Amino acid sequence: MVCGCGNLLHRIGARALLMVTGNGSFRGKQPNLIFIYNMVAIRLNRQGSKDRPYYKIVVVDSRARRDGDFIEQVGTYNPMAEGENYTLDLEKVEKWISNGAQPSETVASMIKKARAAKA
């Protein structure tokens, strides 16, 4: 996990909190490290009013609250509409998934349907 330059995060490529465990004596030994990653999620962000839900499909830090700030909007979902009731920018979604974002179950099913419709 340590590259030639000695930077622990250089090869990982993610923001992480490093916690060194053990008694602090590392003579000739590799320290025990615990990596805690800040995960990114793709999930629904509720909009609209009471009994009239409307959702944005957003990329968000997994620790953020449901309707809080988001990194990027990648689509919309309107459960009140008939027929195809969502829009999704598959290029943005693929970019975020390749960078490690985890879609929620609902968003994953929408991505699956959008890929099938595109093909």
91 in the same domain as 33 = no
44 in the same domain as 83 = yes
Residue 96 has pLDDT above 60, yes or no: yes
76 in the same domain as 32 = no
Task: Enter the tokens of residue 38.
Answer: 């800040």
How far from chain centre, in Å, is Cα 32?
Answer: 27
* Mean pLDDT in residue range 86-107: 94
Domain interval for residue 81: 40-118
3-state SS, residue 11: coil
The number of distinct structural domains making up the chain is 2
Q: Is the dihedral of CA 114, 98, 16, 18 positive or negative?
A: positive
pLDDT, tens digit, 9 for 90 and up, residues 9-21: 444 444 444 444 4
Residue 89 · residue 75 · CB < 8 Å: yes
CA pair distance 65, 46, nearest whole angstrom: 11
66 in the same domain as 33 = no
48 in the same domain as 24 = no
53 in the same domain as 22 = no
CB atoms within 10 A of CB 97: 16
